[in-house]
A and B are shown apart, each in its own frame.
Chain A
C-alpha cells in the first residue's frame, strides 16, 4: 500500500519550453501532496504544498508563476515548470499523505529534468 508514482521518470527539454510532471497516489486518496526539489548530493527542498481543490502554498523563494501546481483530484497533482531554463534542471520528487496516516508522507520515485 501507499504507492506514489511519477511521470515521466526523466525528461529533457529545450530552454524556454514548459514541462509537466504528474504525481499520482495509486492506492490511496492523497489529501495533501508535496513537491520537492533535490540538487545533486543535497537534501530535499520543499517547494510547495497542495491540498485537493485548493491553491498550492509555496515556500519562500519559490516562484509560483514558474512552478505551477494543480491538485485536481485526490489522486493526482501536477507540477508544470514554465519557460524552463538550464538552472531548473534538477530532480523533482513528490510525496503524498492520506487521511489514515496524515503524519506520514509517501514519496514518488522522482523525475529527472534536464533543460538544454
Chain B
C-alpha cells in the first residue's frame, strides 16, 4: 500500500536556527514528491516538488528538500528559520501514471523568537 509518513507531529525551533521536517514514503515505482504548507484556516500552498533530476530541490521562501531514494525520504529543510515559517507542513506523494496525491498527516512547525 502506498503511504507517506511524517513521524513528528510538531517541530520546535528557534528563529535563525536550521530546521528539518521529516518525510518518508512507501510507494512502488519512481514517485513524485511534494511539500505543501498550510496556514490557519487556509488552503495549501505549494512549496516544492521532486520529479526527477537533482536530488536537492529548491522551492519557495528559502525552503529546500532532499530526495533520498535509498532511505525513501524527502525531508524539508531551511538553513535559517523565521517566525513567519510557523505553520502546518504536509508531505505528499504521487505515483507516476496517476493524478492522486497521498498526503502525510502533517507536521506543525513552531518557530520561536
Residue positions of A touching B, CB distance < 8 A: 2, 4, 6, 32, 34, 42-44, 46, 49, 91, 93, 95, 97, 102-110, 112
Contact = CB atoms under 8 A, between A and B. Distances in A.
B112 interface: no
A110 B36 contact: no
Interface residues of B, number: 20
B102 to A, nearest CB: 8
Interface of B: 32, 34, 36, 41-46, 49, 51, 90, 94, 99-101, 103-106
Given A97-B99, A103-B94, A104-B49, A112 B41 contact: yes
Given A43-B90, A44-B90, A107 B43 contact: yes
Given A49-B99, A97-B99, 18 more contacts: A34-B99, A34-B101, A43-B105, A44-B44, A44-B103, A46-B101, A49-B100, A95-B44, A102-B99, A103-B51, A103-B94, A106-B46, A107-B43, A107-B45, A107-B46, A109-B42, A109-B43, A110-B42
A46 B44 contact: no
Contact of A6 (B43, B99, B103, B106): B43
